[in-house]
Chains A and B, each alone.
Chain A
Amino acid sequence: MVRVARRTDRRGQWLKGLLDLCLLGILSRGEAYGYEIARHLADEGIGEVKGGTLYPALSKLEDAGLVATSWRESESGPNRKYYVITEDGRRVLEEESSAWSSMSEAASRLMKGAHHDA
């Protein structure tokens, strides 16, 4: 039970640190609305990101100028808010993803080394 709880906590911490970059990554492929983005995250293996986490994160990206938004009529229900990545968002995504690649490669090397030693 403790191990499962720790794994869930760790994944939660990882997601906390990477969610904004994952969102920028999804939006770099094309514009999308909130629930669509949540589906993409789940399909890509990030896991289920609840609306209470997703929308505040999107809001922070919008306030930072990394994504822009527009409203469009929906076939049913209220108008829908679409998110699109901005040039600043693309630049940040590029910089941070290369930084993340370096870090994750280093971490993977360390963990593989520990596994072999054990």
Chain B
Amino acid sequence: MTPENWTYLSQLVRAMRQCGIRGERIGERVAEIADHLEESGADPVAEFGRPIELAERLAVDEKLLPVWARSLVVQLAGMSLAMIGAAVGTPAFFSPAPVTVELGQVLWAVVFGALIMVVGWLGVRHLDGKSWESGFAWWWFPVIILGVWVGQKLQIGLHVALFTATRAVAATVGIVFAAVGLSIASMYSSRVRFPPGAEYLKPLRRGPFSGSSKRP
């Protein structure tokens, strides 16, 4: 397999995952396309289009949600979970007493986190008319912790106690929720478009949760 074909197929696999195509179907499609490229000797982009375009076409055939909708839903769900972790775990680090988590704190964290995510997403999209990326930025997390703390100080939200836990339990729950939430939110991170042809000269983007890409 030529390096260009390998690069194309690797990006196609990632694009199909982002579009929500099942793993088994991804394998079948990639094998078929690899066979076609081997026998025809065609340029993969000229023959099949760019990986994300082909993946979106295949996802339409499978009647899946558009990739932008899937990424938005998954990122919002991931960020909400992470922010609930922040709301639960943050007081454990700043208060010596057992932690009481209130409904208002959780709601404030979820809304604040979602706003940060949407603003960041929209902002990056408008930076460059040719290329854009959507995804999670690490600096959001300390900003959101600050937002949760500010919300607490300003007494924003509903003072309905959800539960009380020791500092250790609250910190553990907070960290676990934050880690799981961030993992889910970063599933659709680093979706990048480039002008035609440029992406096949760039190395694959690697994030902490994006998995490894091994060259043959």
Contact = CB atoms under 8 A, between A and B. Distances in A.
Interface of A: 33-35, 38, 50-52, 55-56, 59-60, 63, 74, 76-81
B4 interface: no
A27 to B, nearest CB: 16
Contacts of A80: 35
A20 to B, nearest CB: 13
Nearest to B46: A50
B47 A35 contact: no
A55 B35 contact: no
Contact of B32 (A52, A55, A60): A55
B61 A56 contact: yes
Nearest to A54: B36
Interface of B: 28-29, 31-40, 42, 46-49, 53-54, 57-58, 61
A23 B61 CA distance: 17
A56 B34 contact: no
Closest 10 CB pairs of A and B: A52-B48, A78-B31, A52-B49, A51-B47, A35-B39, A51-B48, A35-B36, A77-B38, A81-B32, A59-B61
B45 to A, nearest CB: 9
Given A35-B40, A77-B38, A51 B33 contact: yes
A37 B47 CA distance: 15
Contacts of B34: 77-78
A63 B58 CA distance: 12
A79 B31 CA distance: 7
B20 to A, nearest CB: 16
